[in-house]
Amino acid sequence: MKIGAEFNMAAADRSAEYGQLLLKELATPRDGRNGNLLLAERVAKLLKDGADIHARDAEGRTPLMWAAFHCRVILLNHLIAMGADLHARDNGGNSALDLARQKKQKPAIKSLEAALKEQLEKDLENMSVTIPVRIFKSPLRVKRKNR
């Protein structure tokens, strides 16, 4: 049993370490198409190796936030498909969508809004109300001013 616990601990450490590498890769600006293609390969490898998709840096930003900030739409869509938290906030209270809006990254904004809409639709499908909800004990009465 002790060996299993050590293995789990090592796997968690590796996941956190890879998560920090993932953050470093996404937070570093790249120049040109070639730099971004190589970045996509490195990020895909880190994710395949078990990088923590919810890792945070000193500013509280996640890989999804950095991908949105730098408008890396392919990586952004990949992180969303892998289950990145769309509602996560950094230390300043900004979400990935907020960061994309601040930088006016239209493709990233469009992608995040579509993902948020899809997630909301799924959540609403799964909701079911079996008992009607009563907000008020009695119907509201509206008083009209004399005309």
CA distance 12 to 98: 30
Is CATH 1.25.40.20 correct for 2-113?
yes
Between helices 2-27 and 32-48, what is the axis angle to 10°?
A: 170
Among 93, 99, 91, which residue's Cα sits nearest to residue 26? Answer: 99
Q: Between residues 72 and 9, which one has the greater pLDDT?
A: 72
Task: Kindly report the average pLDDT of the chain as a whole number.
Answer: 79
Cβ atoms of 74 and 108 closer than 8 Å = no
Number of CB atoms found within 10 A of residue 33's CB: 8
Give residue-wise pLDDT tens across range 17-38. Answer: 877 777 777 776 655 555 566 7
Between helices 73-81 and 106-126, what is the axis angle to 10°?
A: 20
Cβ atoms of 125 and 118 closer than 8 Å = no
CA distance 35 to 25: 11
CA distance 64 to 142: 48
Which one-letter amino acid corresponds to residue 9? Answer: M
Give residue-wise pLDDT tens across range 110-123. Answer: 999 999 999 888 88
- For the chain, the domains span 2-113
